Structure 1
C-alpha cells in the first residue's frame, strides 16, 4: 500500500496547489476529504490510525476561536468598528493606517480569516461612500490580518498547529513573534501608501462611486453590549487558558459550551459562522499526511531531503515557506513539515510560524484570508485581479520576510 499512500499524497497536494483537480468542481476541502476516504476504503489507513492522525487539540482550539469570533459578529462589533474606522475625519493615508491597525490587532486574538470575512464588506461600503477606490484598502485588510496574526499562537490556523506540536508557551511566542508582526504591519502601510493605487485615490470620487454606497454618517445597528461583554470575557478566558493551563483543548471547549448557553443567541446563530469547510480540510490533510508519516520509507526519504536542504537554516526555511505557502498553501505546508520533517526546536517553530504566515501575503493564493477578502470584494462589486494583488503583495512579503529573517537570526 506504500505506493497508494504516495500517489494519494502527491495528488492531494497537487490539488492544494491548483485549488482543484482539472475538469472537476471539487475544491481543496473536497480533495483532502476524498484523499482521506480513499486511504480508509483501501485499507492503507485503518480507522484507529486515521483518528490518531487527527490533531484533536488543534481542531478544538480552532473551533473555539471561530465560535468566539461568531460571538463578536453577533454583537455587531465588526460592523461598529468598521464604520468607526471609515468615518474617521482624516485623509486616505490616515484611513489606511486605521484599517491596518484595526485588522492587525483583531487578527492577533481572533482568527484572521474571520476578521477579513467580517470587516471587508463594511469597509468597502464606507470607503466607497467617501469616494475612494476600495481596492488598496481591501488588500490592506488581507495583508494586515495576515501580519497581525503572526504575533500570537491563536492568530491563525498554522500557528495553532505549530503551538500544539511544540507545546509552545503563549508569552514566549509573543516575545519571539510580535516584533516581526509589527514590522510587517509597518511595511504593509508604507508599501500600500506609496503605491499607484493610493496616489490615484482622489480621482475616483463621484456619483458613480457612491451610487450604491451607504453614507458614512448613516448610523449602523447599535452594539449589543451584553453579547459583546460575554465575547470579551470569553476572549480573556481563552488567553488565560493558553497562558496558565496545560490541557488547552478541553478547557477551550468549555468556553464554547459557555457561549452556547445563551438566552439571546440560538445554537444555530452561534455555530452558523463556524468554517466547517476549514475544519474538514484539516481532518482530511491530517489523515493524508499522517499516512505518509507512518510510512517509514517515504517519511525517512522526505526527512533526508529536508535535512539536505538544511531546512533548519533560517534563510532556507524562509525560502521554503515562501514557495510552499504560495503553491500548496501555508496550512498544508506547515502540516506537511511538522508531520514529515526532522526534529524542530522551539526557536525554529517560532521562525516557521513567522515565515509561513508572512509568506501568505505574497499572492492571492498564499492565504485563505486573501481569498476571502477578494471574494468578499467581488460580491460588493470590487474586482481585484491576481495582478492587482501581486503588485502590492509581492513587495510587502519580500520586505517583511527580509526584516523577519534578520530578527530571527538576531535572537537565535
Structure 2
C-alpha cells in the first residue's frame, strides 16, 4: 500500500529514494535532520495554504473569475494577463505567494471556460520566477544575497532589472506564440455565485497581517493565529489544505541540504575559481539545477563575494529542471491532474538554456 501511494506521488517517491541513497552514501545522525529544515518557510507555506483555502471557500475566486472572463475575450489575452499578474505579484509577495494567489484563480477560471491549464500553469511558474528576480522581496535567495551584499534596496533593483526585463520579454513572446487568439468559450459560464463577504474580508485582512509577520521572521506567531482563528471558526478549511505538500517541502529541505553537505560537493566548489564573475554565475546556474536555487545561493556565497553574479546565476537556475525552484514544485502540485511534468520540461529546459545565454551576456 505504501509503494502504491508513492507511485501516485512521483515527487514524494523521488525524495524518499534520494534520502535513502544519501543515508547509504553519507550517513547523517537522525537528530540532525530537524536542523536541516527551514521551519520559517514551512510555517509560512502552511499559513498561506490555510488563507488561500479560506479565500477559495468564500467563493471570491469564482466571483472574480466570472467578471474577468466577461472582460477578456481571448485565450491569448487571458494568458498574457495571468503572466503579468503573476510576475507583478511576485516582485512584492515572493514567487511562492504569487503562485498561491494566481493558480487557484486560474483553476476557478477553468471551471467557467475551457482552458489549457497545463500550459498556463507552466507559463505562470516561469512568470513568478522571472518577475521575482527584480526585487530583494521577490524570493528567498534574493533576500539572502541582498542582506549579504549591503547594497540599498534601489541599488539591488537596478542591478537585477536588466535580467528581469530580458527574461520577461522572452516569456511574453513565448506566451504569444504558444497561446492561441481564439475566443473564450463562455457556454459553461454559470451565474457568478454567492460571495461570503465576512469570510473573504477576514481572510484578506489575515493574509496581509500574516505576510507582514512572515516578512518580519515571525511566521510561527502568524501561523498560530491563523490556525487558531480558522480552527475555531471554520475547522473544515484547516483540515482540507494540502498537507502532503508540506511534507514534500520538509523532505525537500532534508534531502537538498544533505546533498549539499556531501564532501565531494565542497571539494568541487573549493576547487572552482568562483572569484571570477563568470565562474560564480555559471556555478549558480548549474548548482541550482541539482539542489534548488535557495540552498545554492547560501552555499556559493561562502566561496564568492560577487553577489550580483551569484544573483544572476541562481535566478537563471530557477528555470530548467523543476527542482531548480521550489515555486515550480508548488505550481505543479497545485494543479494536480492538470499538470504534466514532461510537458513542463519541454518548455522550461529550452527557456533555461536561453536564460543562461542572456544572463551571461548581461553580466
Same fold (TM over 0.5): yes
Alpha-carbon displacement from aligned partner over 1:203-247 (angstroms, at most 9, x marks no partner): xx7xxx959x612xx33333333333333333433443466x4xx
2:241 to 251, 273, 283: 273
Deviation at 1:269, TM superposition (A): 0.7
Deviation at 1:99, TM superposition (A): 1.9
| Residues 107-256 of structure 1 aligned to structure 2 (within 5 Å) | 107-108=90-91, 109=93, 110-115=96-101, 117-128=103-114, 137-151=120-134, 159-160=139-140, 163=143, 172=153, 175=157, 180-181=163-164, 183-193=166-176, 195=177, 197-198=178-179, 201-202=181-182, 214-215=188-189, 218-241=190-213, 245=216, 248=217, 251-256=218-223
Listed as ranges, the gaps of 5+ residues in structure 2 are none
Q: What's 2:267 paired with? A: 304
Deviation at 1:96, TM superposition (A): 2.9
Separation of aligned partners in 2, 1:190 and 1:114: 24
Separation of aligned partners in 2, 1:337 and 1:242: 21
Deviation at 1:62, TM superposition (A): 3.0
Q: What's 1:63 paired with? A: 46
| Residues 330-345 of structure 1 aligned to structure 2 (within 5 Å) | 331=292, 334-335=294-295, 338=298, 342-343=302-303, 345=305
Query: Normalization by structure 1: what TM-score?
Result: 0.64
Alpha-carbon displacement from aligned partner over 1:329-359 (angstroms, at most 9, x marks no partner): x63x643664587445554553355223344
Separation of aligned partners in 1, 2:224 and 2:151: 23
Listed as ranges, the gaps of 5+ residues in structure 1 are 1-19, 379-383
Separation of aligned partners in 2, 1:316 and 1:406: 14
Q: What's 1:357 paired with? A: 318
Alpha-carbon displacement from aligned partner over 1:179-199 (angstroms, at most 9, x marks no partner): 644553333222221x2x44x
Deviation at 1:101, TM superposition (A): 1.9
Separation of aligned partners in 2, 1:164 and 1:91: 40
**Does structure 2 retain, via aligned residues, the 8 Å contact 1:140–1:192?**
yes
Tell me, yes or no, if structure 1 residue 284 matches structure 2 residue 279: no
Separation of aligned partners in 2, 1:366 and 1:242: 17
Task: For residue 273 of structure 1, give the secondary structure of its aligned residue in structure 2.
Answer: coil
Alpha-carbon displacement from aligned partner over 1:76-128 (angstroms, at most 9, x marks no partner): 34334444433324445433321212232344525355346413433334453
Two-structure CA RMSD over aligned residues (Å): 4.7
**Does structure 1 retain, via aligned residues, the 8 Å contact 2:319–2:348?**
no
Deviation at 1:399, TM superposition (A): 4.5
Deviation at 1:171, TM superposition (A): 8.1
Separation of aligned partners in 2, 1:171 and 1:72: 35
**Does structure 2 retain, via aligned residues, the 8 Å contact 1:104–1:149?**
yes
> How has the CA–CA distance of structure 1 residues 187 and 166 changed in structure 2, closer, same or farther, with 3 Å as cutoff?
closer
Q: What's 2:329 paired with? A: 368
Tell me, yes or no, if structure 1 residue 86 matches structure 2 residue 46: no
Deviation at 1:136, TM superposition (A): 5.1
Separation of aligned partners in 1, 2:246 and 2:10: 14
**Does structure 1 retain, via aligned residues, the 8 Å contact 2:134–2:160?**
yes
**Does structure 1 retain, via aligned residues, the 8 Å contact 2:37–2:253?**
yes
Alpha-carbon displacement from aligned partner over 1:28-71 (angstroms, at most 9, x marks no partner): 32443465578789994334322333332332233333333333
Separation of aligned partners in 2, 1:43 and 1:400: 34
Separation of aligned partners in 1, 2:303 and 2:42: 23
Query: Normalization by structure 2: what TM-score?
Result: 0.71
Q: What's 1:75 paired with? A: 58
> How has the CA–CA distance of structure 1 residues 396 and 69 changed in structure 2, closer, same or farther, with 3 Å as cutoff?
same
**Does structure 1 retain, via aligned residues, the 8 Å contact 2:316–2:356?**
yes
Separation of aligned partners in 1, 2:360 and 2:65: 33
